Structure 1
Amino acid sequence: MTTSPTLSRTLALLSVCLAALAMPLSFTAPAIAMASIRHALGGSPVALAWATNAFMLGFGASLMAAGTLADRWGRKRLFLLGSALFSLTSLGLTVAPDLLAFNLLRALQGLGAAVAFAAGLAGLAQRFAEAERLQAFSWIGTTFGIGLAFGPMLSGFLIDAAGWRVIFWAPVALTALAFLLAARSWEESSDPAARLDVPGLLGFTASLAMLTTALLCLPDWGWASGRFRLAMLAFLLLSALYVWQALRTARPMLDLRLFRYPRFVGVQTLAAAPAYAFVVLLVLLPVRLVGIEGISPLDAGLDMMWMSLPMLVLPLASARLSRRVPAAMLSAGGLLLCALGLCLLGNTVHIDGNGTAQLAMMLIGIGISFPWGVMDGLAVSVVPVERAGMAAGIFSTTRVAGEGVALAVVGAALAGLIHARLPDGAGSAAAQLAMGNLAAAASGLPGLSRAALTIAYAQSFQLLVYGLAGMTTLTAFTIYLFLRTRAAAASCAGEPI
C-alpha cells in the first residue's frame, strides 16, 4: 500500500513527537518517585542524585555525536536504533535490582534518547521545506515541553496506582510506537561527507562528566576539599584540551568558530535559558512537596499542573505569533515573566494548596512557553540544511547539558544554603534534607526538631529561587541583545549563516 507524501511526512513528524514526549517523561519521573526509589533501592544522597543526572549526562554528552552519526550513517537508521535502545533500557529500569544498576541503565537510556532525538530532528529537517520546518519543529518543542511538564502528574498517578517501577512503562510504549511509525513512514537520508570527531566526543564527555561529578559530590566533599579541587582542575584541563582540539580540527563535533555570529550565540543562550527558569523546578518542587511537605506523589503531581497547563497550547501559539512579533521580544518577555513568577514563588512558605504559589507556577509556565515555542525552529537555522544533524546536536546538547549542569549546581547550592543554617559538621544532614529526606536529616541531628529543619529548608529554598529569578532576568536581556538584530530575524526563515 502506497503512502502519500503528505501522510508520510505527518507520520514521520508524529513518530518524532512521540519520542520527544517519552524522553522528558523519563527525566521528570524519578523526581516524583525519589522517596519510593530511596526506600526500595537505598543509596546516599549523591547516588540518588545520579538517578536524574545519569540520564542527563548520557543524553547531553551524546547529542552532538549522535547528530553527526545520523548525518553520516542515515537518519532513519539512527532514529530506529535510538528508539530501540531507549525502549529496552526503559524496560530494564522496571526490574533494576539495585541503585547502581538503575543508574547505569539511566545513562544508557539517556544515550538512546540522544540518538533518537538528534536523528529525528535531522531527518525532519530534510523532509519539510523551509516554510513548514518552523511549524514542524514547534510541534516537537511543544510535545517535549508537555512531557517535561506533565511527567510529574502522570508519575504521581502511576506511583499511587501501581508503584514506582510502572512509571517507566509509558516511555516503553511511546518509543515502541515511534519505532513502528518511523519504520513505515521515513525515507532514508544522509550526508556522506559528515565525519565523527572521536577526540572531541571523548573530551567533551569526560569534561562534562567531571564537572557533574564535582558538583554532585560538593555537599559531601566541601569547597576546600582536595577531591573537589582536583575534580575541578581536571574539568578545566579537559575543557582546555577539548577547545584546543576543536580549533585544530577541520570539521569538529562543535565548530567553535560559529560563536563569532551573534545569532548563533543568542540561540545557544536561549537553549540553556529554560534550565534555571523552569526545568530545575520540575525536580526541586516534587522533592519538596513529597519529601518536605509530606504530601502524596499524586497530590504533588496535581500541584505541578499549575506549571503544566500553559504548555499545552502556548508554545504553538508562540510559534504562530513569531511571524508578527520578533523572536527576541517573545523570548525575552517570556523569561521576564518567569522571573516574576520565581520571585512570587520565593515569597511562599508552603507550596501545596497555596494560592500565591499556584499563581507563581502558572506565571512560570506561561512565561517559558513563549521561548519554548520558537527555539527549536531557530535551532536548525544556524547552519545549512545539509548539516542539520550537527545543528540539532549543538542546540540540544546546549539545552540538555545545561539542564544537567543546572541540576547539579542548584542541588549543591541548596545543600550549601541549608548547611549554613545548621550546626557545624552537619553537611551530611544538609545533603539529606536537600534531597527531601527529612527523616534521615532529623535522625542525624537529634538536637533539632523537624519543624526547625523544615524552616531551614524553606529559607534556603527562598534564597535559591531568588537567585534563579536574577539569573533568568539577566539571561532575558542577553538573549534580546543577541537575537534582536536583522540577521537574527532572518534566521526564522531558515537562512544559513
Structure 2
Amino acid sequence: MSRTRPLLAVILLAQFVIPLSISGTAVALPAIAGDLGSSPTPLQWVVNGFNVSFAICTIVWGVFSDRIGYTRSFRIGIAIAATGAIVSAFAPSIGVLDAGRVIAGIGSAAVLTGAAPILSHLFTGKAKAQAFALFGMINGLGLAAGPALSGLLLSVWGWRGIFAAHAIVLLVALVGTARLPQFGRAGTSLREILDFSALKAPKFVAMTLVPVAGAIGFVTFLTYLPSALGAIHGLTAGIIGALMLAMTIPVLIAPVAVHRVMDRGRVTPTAVVAASFACLIVGGIGVFLLLRPDLPIALGIAPMILLGLGFGLPLGFVDAEALAAVPAERAGAASGVINLFRIGSEAVFVAAYAATLTAVITTTLPGATGELVASGGPGEPWIYRNGLMAASGAMIGLVVLAGIAFVALSRADGLKAAADGEVEAAPNSKKPADRRPAGSRWS
C-alpha cells in the first residue's frame, strides 16, 4: 500500500471538499444574506443548489465514468467543482452564487462516483478494506467537521473565504491526479445510464439504506443544530463550534475502531449497522427532548455523541459491502446508484427539515421576523423550539422506518442465500444415488 499511499491521499483530498460543502455551507447563510440579500428561496438554494445538482448528476456520472474511464471522469469532476467554487467565491449576486453552487455540485458528482471504482482498482485484499475505511472516514469527517471548519473560515476570511478554500484544495488535488493510472472501460450502452439492476439484490438495497438513514438522522441535525443552538440558547459561533465537536469526534474515531474489531472477526457488518440505527434513534430522541431554553445545554452533549456514533460506525465498510453484492464490472453503475441515494437523500431531507422548521415557525410568527427566527436568529427560543420538534420528530420517525426496512431486507438476503445453497447442493446429493450402483465409492 506504500506505493499507492500518495494516490490515496489525492483521492481523499478531493473527496473531503464534497461533504464539507454539504454540511458547512448553511453556517455562512446569515453572512451571505447580509451581503447579497436575504430573500428566502435564493438563499436556501446556496445549500440546495449543490445538493440537488449533486444528486441528479451522480447516477449519470456513474455510468459515464464506465465509458470514458474512472480516472478521466475523476479529473474532469475536480476541474468542474473547482470552477464552481471559484465562481462562488467571487459571486457578485445571490443568483451567481447559486449558479456556482450548482456547477460545484455537478463536478462533485463525478469526483464522488469515480473515487470508489478507482479505489477498487488500486487496492486488493486487506489494503482495499483499509482504503475504503479511510474513504468512509473522510466522508464522515467532512460532513461532521463542515459546520466547525466553515465557521472558522467564516470568522477569519468571511463567507467568500469558505469557497476560496474549497477551490484551493481542489486545485491541489487536480495537480495530484497527474500520477493516477488510467482506470475504466469503454463500450457501455446508453441504456445502462438508468441501470438500477443492483437494486434486485436485497443486500445491496439494505446497505444503501444505511447512508440514507445517516442523511436523515445525522446530516439534517448536523446542518441545522448550529442554528438551533444559537436561536434557543443564544450561544456565540465559537461556543457552537466547540459543542459541535461532540458530533464530529465520534465520526472520526468510530470507523477506525470498527475496522479493527471487524478485522478480528468479533462482530458482523449487520450487527454494527444495527448499533448505528439504535444510536441515531436514541440520539435523535435525546436532542428532541433535551434541546430546550429551560434546560442546560450540557444535557444535549450525550445525544450529540450518539448521533455521531450512529453516523460513524458503518462508514468504513458500507460501500464495500454494498458493491460486493453486484458484479465487479458494474462497480461504476452500482456506485452511482448508492451515491445517488446517499446524496439524494441528503439533499431531499435537509431541504425537508428546513421546510418543516420554517413552516412551523412562520405559521406562528409570520413575516420577516419569522423568517429571521427560522434562520437561527435570536429572540424567540420557544417558537424555534416548536419548529425543531416538528422537524426532528419527522426525521426520527423516518430513521425508525429505515431500520425496520434494513432488518427485513437483511432477512430476505439470508433466506435467498440459504435457498441458493440448497439448490446448488440438491443436484450433487442426488448424483450418487441416481447414477451409481449401491456399494460403489459414490454411494
Counterpart in 2 of 1:483? 410
Does the Cα contact within 8 Å between 1:322 and 1:330 map onto a contact in 2?
A: no
Choose which of 296, 299, 309 in structure 1 pairs with 2:236.
296
Q: Which amino acid aligns with 1:139?
A: L
Q: How does 1:30-429 map to 2 (within 5 A)?
A: 30-184=25-179, 186-195=180-189, 197=190, 249=191, 251-255=192-196, 257-290=197-230, 293-323=233-263, 324=265, 325-347=267-289, 348-350=291-293, 354-422=297-365, 426=366
What is the aligned partner in structure 1 of residue 441 from structure 2? none
**Does the CA contact (< 8 Å) of 2:353 and 2:392 recur in 1?**
no
Q: Is the 8 A contact 1:156 1:299 kept in 2?
A: no
Cα offset, 1:467, TM superposition: 2.9
User: Is the contact between residue 20 and residue 144 of structure 1 (CA under 8 Å) also seen in structure 2?
Assistant: yes
Change in CA separation of 1:360 and 1:350 when aligned onto 2, cut-off 3 Å = farther
Contact 2:23 2:219 in 1 (8 A): no
> 1:309 is matched by which residue type in structure 2?
I
State the alpha-carbon separation in 2 of the partners of residues 284 and 375 from structure 1.
Answer: 25
| Displacement after TM superposition at 1:180 (Å) | 2.3
**CA spacing shift, 1:293–1:474, aligned 2, 3 Å:** same
- The 3 A distance-change label for structure 1 pair 288 and 316 is same
Task: Measure, in 1, the Cα distance between the counterparts of 2:199 and 2:346.
Answer: 20
For residue 357 of structure 1, report the CA deviation from its aligned partner. Answer: 0.9
**CA displacement, residues 306-357 of structure 1 (integer Å, 9 cap, x when unaligned):** 1001111211222333343221221121121121111111122149971111
Moved more, 284-293 or 38-47: 284-293
Normalising by the residue count of structure 2, what TM-score does the alignment of the two structures yield? 0.87
Deviates more, 1:343-352 or 1:370-379: 343-352
Cα displacement (A) at 1:368:
1.6
Q: Under a length normalisation based on structure 1, what TM-score does the superposition of the two structures give?
A: 0.78
Note if contact 2:230-2:377 (Cα within 8 Å) is conserved in structure 1. no
Shift of 1:254: 3.1
Q: After TM superposition, where is structure 1 displaced by more than 6 Å over at least 4 residues in a row?
A: 487-490
Residue 271 of structure 1: how far off its partner (Å):
2.6
Kindly provide the amino acid, as one letter, of the partner of residue 286 in structure 1: P
CA contact (8 A) 1:150 1:308 kept: yes
Choose 1 or 2 for highest CA Rg. 2
Equivalent residues in 2 for 1:428-467, closer than 5 Å? 430-437=370-377, 450=379, 453-467=380-394
Which whole-Å deviations, capped at 9, do the CAs of 1:24-53 have from their partners, x for residues lacking one? Answer: 112222211111111111131121111110
Structure 2 unaligned regions, length at least 5: 419-443
**Which secondary structure state, in structure 2, belongs to the residue aligned with residue 187 of structure 1?**
coil
Letter in 1 for 2:259: A
Give the Cα separation in 2 of the matches to 1:298 and 1:360. Answer: 20
| SS of equivalent residue, structure 2 residue 194 | coil
Say if 1:371 and 1:350 are closer, same or farther in 2 by CA, change over 3 A.
Answer: farther
Q: Distance in 2 between matches of 1:104 and 1:171?
A: 16
Deviation at 1:263, TM superposition (A): 1.1
Write the letter of the residue equivalent to 2:286.
L
1:414 shift after superposition: 1.4
Q: Is the 8 A contact 2:50 2:105 kept in 1?
A: yes
Unaligned 5+ segments in structure 1 are 1-5, 198-248, 439-449, 491-497
Contact map agreement 1:322 1:374 (CA 8 A) in 2: no
**Kindly, what percent of the aligned residue pairs are identical?**
28
Q: Partner amino acid for 1:137?
A: F
Deviation digits for residues 222-266 of structure 1 (CA, Å, limit 9, x no counterpart):
xxxxxxxxxxxxxxxxxxxxxxxxxxx4x34232x4333211221
Q: Distance in 2 between matches of 1:37 and 1:489?
A: 53
Whole-angstrom CA distance in 1 between matches of 2:132 and 2:225: 29
